[in-house]
Amino acid sequence: MATTTATPDEHNAVVDNGAVVEDGVVNDGVAPAAGHDGVRRRDFIEIAAVSAAGMGGLVMVYPLISQMSPSADVLAESTTELDVGALEVGQSIKAVFRKQPVFVRRLTAAEIQQADAVSIDELRDPQTLAERTLVDHPDLLVVMGVCTHLGCVPLGAAEGENKGDYGGYFCPCHGSHYDTAARIRKGPAPTNLLVPEYSVNGTALVIGEA
Question: Catalytic residue numbers?
Answer: 174
Same domain, residue pair 150 and 190: yes
pLDDT at 13: 47
Same domain, residue pair 108 and 64: no
Same domain, residue pair 91 and 174: yes
Quote the domain boundaries for residue 144. 76-207
Q: What is the pLDDT of residues 38-50, one digit of tens each?
A: 556 666 566 656 5
CATH code, domain carrying 127: 2.102.10.10
Same domain, residue pair 187 and 151: yes
Concatenating the DSSP letter of every residue in the chain gives ----PPPHHHHT-B-TTS-EEETTEEE--PPPHHHHHHHHHHHHHHHHHHHHHHHHHHHHHHHHHHHHSPPHHHHHHT-EEEE-TT--TT-EEEEEETTEEEEEEE--HHHHHHHHTS-GGG-SS---SGGGSBTTBTTEEEEESS-TTT----B-SSTT---TTTEEEEETTTTEEEETT--EEESS--SPPP---EEEETTEEEET--
Is the pLDDT score of 53 beyond 70? no
Number of domains in the chain: 2
Same domain, residue pair 49 and 118: no
Q: What is the pLDDT of residues 105-161, one digit of tens each?
A: 999 999 999 999 999 999 999 999 999 999 999 999 999 999 999 999 999 999 999
Same domain, residue pair 48 and 134: no
Same domain, residue pair 93 and 61: no
Same domain, residue pair 81 and 48: no
Determine, yes or no, domain membership for 103: yes
